[in-house]
Amino acid sequence: MSSFYALIIGAGSTIAQAAIAQFEQNPDCLGVFAVSRSLPHEDSNSAKVEKKVRWFICDNSESSIKDVVQQINQHSPNITKVLICNGVLHGTQQNNETMMPEKKLEDVNAEQLEAVFHANTVVPMLWLSKLVPLVKGKEATQVALFSARVGSISDNKSGGWYSYRASKAALNMLIQNSAIEYARRAKNVKLIAFHPGTTDTPLSKPFQRSVPKDKLFTPEFVASQLLAIMDSVEMNAIEGHAIEGHAIEGNRNAAFLDWNNQAINW
Ligand SMILES: NC(=O)c1ccc[n+]([C@@H]2O[C@H](COP(=O)([O-])OP(=O)(O)OC[C@H]3O[C@@H](n4cnc5c(N)ncnc54)[C@H](OP(=O)(O)O)[C@@H]3O)[C@@H](O)[C@H]2O)c1
């Protein structure tokens, strides 16, 4: 593989941290641009250099995203791996701590819908809309956006989790839609809606009790699966699913894949 740079957005994510560590170990990776709402260690600088990793603080507003993209573009490196990891499922100390996925219609409320859509749909889409200058090179480039199997409309059998499911379904549509335009403007980019599987991170913590041990993945395992998928994914391949004899073809430039490289119905 030729040498490359990686860009990780939502770099504070536990899975993102594992991916950064793996990029650091990879001699072909010349550098990692890591973007987060806060630095991983206490530090008052807005950008710092740590081994191969250069950190940027970004509040994910449009102006802040533009600013970071411009700063990275000045280095004009060959970014061919992008991970967009942002997502929330329940409240944390930083947001509404009592927020939990909705179990029934009566739990649905505007505040939660808006907060979850903002982190899971709006933020990744803002990034996708501003990335073109960084990824429009000649090299095969993969942009992985962290989605979730529960965002599959055709796979929804158990209901609940209204805001999370809908925010990931909306993200998937935005990925499909963007892939059509990317095909014209950044031809060598494949967009991957990625389902990591249940992974041991703060996001899944409250829901881990019912998960069998062998189905709860470590962030390191999931990161290595994702990076391998990004290396091997077929560019411009049609992700087809045969249902009752009818092939349902997806977009050539977008794929919805799980941690085991299996296609998920959109
Ligand atoms: N863990 C699982 O079992 C699982 C399963 C399916 C899908 N996923 C998806 O995988 C992705 C990574 O999650 P994780 O498990 O690594 O969780 P995590 O450690 O809790 O990471 C959370 C991520 O979300 C970002 N974030 C949190 N609140 C945000 C807000 N209000 N606005 C913008 N960004 C915000 C953080 O970005 P900063 O760096 O800026 O803080 C960080 O990237 C998420 O999209 C999640 O939905 C996870």
User: Is pLDDT of 2 > 50?
Assistant: yes
Residue 241 pLDDT: 53
For residue 100, tell me if it sits in a domain: yes
| 8 A C-beta contact, residue 170 and residue 261 | no
User: Is pLDDT of 247 > 60?
Assistant: no
What's the structural domain count of the chain?
A: 1
For residue 203, tell me if it sits in a domain: yes
87-124 tens-digit pLDDT: 999 998 777 778 999 999 999 999 999 999 999 999 99
The alpha carbon of 206 and the centre of ligand 1 are apart by a number of angstroms equal to 14
Q: 84 has which bridge partners?
A: 9, 145
Q: Residue 235 — pLDDT band, cuts 50, 70, 90?
A: confident
* Cα dihedral sign, 124-1-229-101: negative
Pick the residue whose CA is nearest to atom 21 on ligand 1.
13
The alpha carbon of 227 and the centre of ligand 1 are apart by a number of angstroms equal to 17
- CA angle 248/233/28 to nearest 5° reads 165
Residue 46 pLDDT: 46
- Select from 20, 37, 174 the residue to mutate for testing ligand 1; criterion: most ligand atoms less than 8 Å from CB: 37
For residue 266, tell me if it sits in a domain: no
Residue whose structure tokens are 């796979």: 155
The alpha carbon of 246 and the centre of ligand 1 are apart by a number of angstroms equal to 36
- 57 is in which domain, residue-wise? 4-258
How far is CA 250 from its chain centroid?
Answer: 19
Pick the residue whose CA is nearest to atom 9 on ligand 1.
146
We report the CATH number of the domain holding residue 238 as 3.40.50.720
151-186 tens-digit pLDDT: 999 999 999 999 999 999 999 999 999 999 999 999
124-156 tens-digit pLDDT: 999 999 999 999 999 999 999 999 999 999 999
Q: How far apart, in whole angstroms, are the C-alpha atoms of residue 125 and residue 223?
A: 22
For residue 78, tell me if it sits in a domain: yes
For residue 264, tell me if it sits in a domain: no
For residue 197, tell me if it sits in a domain: yes
For residue 263, tell me if it sits in a domain: no
* Amino acid, single-letter form, for residue 52: K
Residue 201 pLDDT: 96
Average pLDDT over residues 253-257: 95
For residue 265, tell me if it sits in a domain: no
33-90 tens-digit pLDDT: 999 999 886 544 445 545 799 999 999 999 999 999 999 999 867 899 999 999 999 9
| 8 A C-beta contact, residue 3 and residue 28 | yes
Two structure tokens written together for 224: 């290595």
